[in-house]
Structure formats: structure tokens, C-alpha cells
Amino acid sequence: MRYYRLPGGEHQSSSESLVVIDDEGDAYDLTSASEDLGSFTELARAANASNQSIDAIARDRIPEADQRDLDDIEANALRPVVPDEVWAAGVTYSISEKARKAESGKPEVYIDVYESERPELFLKATPSRTVGPYDSIGVRGDSDWDVPEPELGIVLHRGEVVGYTVGNDVSSRDIEGENPLYLPQAKVYDRCCSVGPCVSTSETVEDPHDLTMSLTIERDEEIAYEGSTSTSEMATSCETLVEYLRRHNTLPETLVLLTGTALVPPETFTLEEGDRVSIDIDNIGRLVNDTVIV
């Protein structure tokens, strides 16, 4: 099932609602059934405490929940979780390795990491730097070559995988290309990361290594870039990435791990203010953001 965070319903005291779209495609406001289910994190806590799956708890509450309009969900969805930390993996697809080799004066660093067992993992964003659907993603004002990076996001609750989301690891290619040690500046700044529109549980996603992912960038109502691929192209696995992230590293309660970009626009492309970026992943949904210079 797919879980959304929305502003609270008309007759509710809570300011936010946890809304589920079930397997039949109907939407229910779980917070209207139980005020203790105000967020996906609270639902994950309840699942932990009762040793049940997240979907089982939601199914139990659906009979008492108000129905919500599907159009309302698409238009008003907020970040489905507010992750304490967003981490990201790099160079997990051959296309990303080729892009880094082309942009970097130190290509061997990227060849090494692509071929190594230990993945590249970096801290991508904190809550204040992470935006949700229809919010603006940021491009650094001191960068001339910027791209969205569409990525499958793994959602972890207390270190365990509880679902998947869509992520955008917005990046400066020229800052990273100048020197790999500038990676934190190329990756971490205001509005550098977007997640949403929902968390889709493992039961719904089925196989995270077999999902079609597509990226569309619109400029002045025309398509400036369009591409599509599959997560089956990933050179590592979600399990390996999570295993390395957890090593000697106590994770915060809610964390999103982005799994690396599988689509790279041509070298002539750079994101501009006003561009609309849409990322679709099968069984999860579409994450749409406009672009602003920060």
C-alpha cells in the first residue's frame, strides 16, 4: 500500500494526516480513525510495537477511516516522511560511472568505486534541506552545470527497510568535477534533495531491482530532456547498500537512503530556474518539482 502525508482533513484537530491508498486504489485518512497514527513514522512505531506489518495495521484501521479524494492527494501531498537524515549512494549504475569519468579530472576515483565491493555512501541532506512534491528544488548560485539525479529511495525505520520512495539527488557537476573532495559542496546545500510523493511498502513494490524509472525535464512548456531505465541496471543491491550504511553507524529513527542515479542528461544540459522535473518510478509514483536558484 502507499502512504501519503497531507494537511489535516476539514473536521480534524490534527494539522496533518496520514493517508493510505490501498490495493483497490481507494484512499483513506488513517489519522481520522486513530489520532495516534498521525504520520508514517507513528505507523511504523505501532507496527514495531505489535510485531505486525505496516500494511496489516493500516488494513485494521481502514473500516473506521474517512475516505479521501484521490485528486486532493496528488495536489497536496507533503514529504511522506521527514527523514532525520538522507544518505545517498554514488556510482551504482554504469551510466553514472561514465558521467563522472567524463566530468572529473580524477576519473580513476570513480572507476575504483564502481568496481569495489564497498559502495560510495555520503550524507546527502538534513530535514531543513529536504523538500517534498511540488516544492522547489535548488540549484547553487555558484555553479554552472547542474542536474537532477532521479533515484530510488529506501525508507528505513530504526534501521529496518519499511518501504521505498522516489528521490532527487540534485547535484552540481562542475563543483564535483573540479575536485572529488568538493563532493559535499556539490551535493549538500539549500533545497538539494526532494523525496515523495509517498512511501510504498515492500509488499507493494515487490522487487526494488526491477522497477522502471523515468525522468522528464520541462522548460517553457517543452520537453528539454526525457529518459527512462530500469533499477535492474544497478551494479549493486539495496541489501548491500543498507548493510554498509548500518555498519558501526547507529541510524536515526527515520532515514532515506538514495540508491544512485540511473539517468544522466547529456553534457550540454544544465538545470535552469523554472525547469519542472518529474521522476516516475513503477509501483511508487511521480515526484514533481520546479527549480529555483539558491
Q: Using CB positions, name the residue nearest to Mg ion.
A: 169
- For residue 260, state whether it binds ligand DO4 (rule: CB under 6 A): yes
- Residue 146 sits in the site that holds ligand DO4 (CB under 6 A): no
Smallest distance from ligand DO4 to CB 264, Å = 9
In the chain, the largest separation of any two C-alpha atoms, in whole Å, equals: 60
> Minimum CB separation from ligand DO4 for residue 271, in Å?
15
**One of 55, 120, 146, 280 touching ligand DO4 (CB under 6 A):** 120
Please state, in angstroms and rounded to a whole number, the distance separating the CA atoms of residues 72 and 64. 20
278 binds ligand DO4 (CB under 6 A): no
**How far apart are CB 167 and Mg ion at their closest, in Å?**
9
DSSP of 62-102: GGGSEEE-HHHHHHH-B-SS--SEEEEEES-SHHHHHHHHH
Rounded CA separation 88/98 (Å): 18
Q: Which of 55, 85, 146, 149 binds Mg ion (CB under 5 A)?
A: 149
Position 86 contacts ligand DO4 (CB under 6 A): no
90 lies in the site for ligand DO4, by CB under 6 A? yes
Tell me if 169 contacts ligand DO4 by CB under 6 A: yes
Q: What angle, rounded to 10 degrees, do the helices at 40-50 and 54-61 form?
A: 100
* 258 and 238 Cβ atoms separated by less than 8 Å: no
Chain residues 173-192 in contact with ligand DO4, contact rule CB under 6 A: 183
Q: Distance of alpha carbon 58 from its chain centroid, rounded?
A: 22
The β-bridge relationship of strands 171-172 and 146-147 is antiparallel
Asked if 280 touches ligand DO4 (CB under 6 A), the answer is: no
Which alpha helices (DSSP H) does the chain contain, by range? 30-33, 40-50, 54-61, 70-76, 94-103, 107-115, 173-178, 183-187, 202-205, 238-246
Q: Which does 204 bind (CB under 5 to 8 A by kind): ligand DO4, Mg ion, none?
A: none
**Pattern 249-268, Mg ion, x by CB under 5 A:** ------------x-------
CA angle 199, 201, 206 (to 5 degrees): 125
Question: For Mg ion, which is the closer residue by CB, 169 or 275?
Answer: 169
Q: Which residues bind Mg ion (CB under 5 A)?
A: 149, 169, 261
Q: Which residues bind ligand DO4 (CB under 6 A)?
A: 88, 90-92, 96, 100, 120, 149, 169, 183, 260-261
